[in-house]
Amino acid sequence: MNNEMIAMILSLMGMTINILSFQARKKNNLFIFQVTGSAIFLLSYCFSDGGIAVALNCLFILRGILLIVLGERGKKPLALGLMAGYLLSYAGVLLLQSPAPLEALRLVLPVVGAFLGTIGFIQSDIRTLRYWKMGDSVCWLIFNATIGLGALGGILCEVFSLCSMLISLWRFRKKEEV
Predicted local distance difference test score (pLDDT) of residue 37 = 93
How far out from the chain centre does Cα 99 lie? Answer: 23
Closest CA to 129 of 16, 37, 25: 25
Which residues, 6 or more positions from 101, have their beta carbon under 8 angstroms from its beta carbon?
none
Rounded Cα distance between 38 and 62, Å, is 10
pLDDT tens, position by position, 4-44: 888 888 988 988 998 888 888 888 899 999 999 999 989 98
pLDDT tens, position by position, 84-127: 999 999 998 888 888 888 888 888 999 999 999 999 988 888 88
pTM (predicted TM-score): 0.83
